[in-house]
């Protein structure tokens, strides 16, 4: 069994979490987290790290305007640049409301949604 320490990124408290990993890769006891989200984060992080991607997208019908966006689900860490590329090759059209889906199913059911509004 090995112990792995990681810093939780779920919220700004940044708990130092210790996870026990058996020889066969099974994750055992998780400690140091101060909420259930922390445990979930630690397990995900050890198995397959995911991140919510935030960026901006060009608004085609407004002068020099961009709208803030995010993926509505966390996506695998290694896909971040691929999805950045898709966002940067796309554009949105105003009016846009917060929560509007701007790119549908960008990765395995995750959408790119607007996090701001523009008239």
Partner 1 sequence: MKNVDLIVIGAGPAGMAAALCVYEEGIRNILVLDRAEKPGGILQQCIHNGFGLHKFGEELTGPEYAAKYSEKIISSGIQCLFGTSVLSITKDKLVTAINNKSGMFTIQSKAIILAMGCRERSRGALGIPGSRPAGIYTAGTAQWFVNIKGEMPGKNVVILGSGDIGLIMARRLTLEGAKVQAVCELMPYSGGLNRNIVQCLNDFSIPLKLSHTISKIHGESRVTGVTVSKVDVNLNVIETESEYIPCDTILLSVGLIPENELTKGAGITLDSVTGGAVVNQNRQTETEGVFACGNVLHVHDLVDFVSEEAELAGKAAAEYIKGGKKEAYEKVVLRPGNGVRYTVPQIIEKNADNDEIKLYFRVGGIIENASVVMESEGETAFSKYRRKMVPGEMEYIVIKRDILEKMHGTVIIKVEQGAKK
- Residue 68 is a binding residue for partner 1 (CB under 8 A): yes
Which span (20-28, 100-108, 110-118) binds partner 1, by CB under 8 A? 110-118
Please name which of 67, 63, 25 lies closest in space to residue 46, comparing C-alpha atoms: 25
The pattern of x and - marking residues 20 through 59 that bind partner 1 according to CB under 8 A reads -------------------------------xxxxxx-x-
Counting residues that bind partner 1 (by CB under 8 A) gives 31
Instruction: Collect all residues with Cβ–Cβ distance below 8 Å to 17 and sequence separation of at least 6.
Output: 5, 6, 7, 8, 30, 31, 32, 33, 38, 39, 41, 42
Contact flag: residue 80 with partner 1 (CB under 8 A)? yes
Q: Among residues 2, 12, 24, 36, which is the contact residue for partner 1, using CB under 8 A?
A: 12
Give me the count of residues in the chain.
Answer: 119
Which residues in this chain contact partner 1 in the complex, by CB under 8 A? 6-12, 14, 16, 51-56, 58, 64-66, 68-70, 77, 80-81, 84, 88, 98, 115-117
């Amino acid at each position: 069994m090995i112990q792995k320490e990681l810093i939780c990124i779920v919220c700004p408290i940044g708990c130092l979490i210790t996870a026990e990993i058996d020889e066969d890769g099974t994750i055992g006891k998780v400690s140091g987290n101060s909420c259930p989200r922390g445990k979930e984060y630690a397990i995900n992080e050890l198995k397959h790290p995911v991140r919510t991607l935030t960026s901006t997208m060009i608004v085609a019908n407004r002068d020099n305007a961009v709208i803030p966006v995010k993926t509505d689900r966390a996506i695998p860490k290694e896909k971040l640049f691929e999805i950045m590329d898709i966002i940067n090759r796309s554009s949105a059209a105003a009016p846009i409301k917060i929560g509007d889906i701007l790119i549908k199913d960008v990765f395995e059911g995750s959408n790119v949604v607007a996090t701001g509004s523009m008239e």
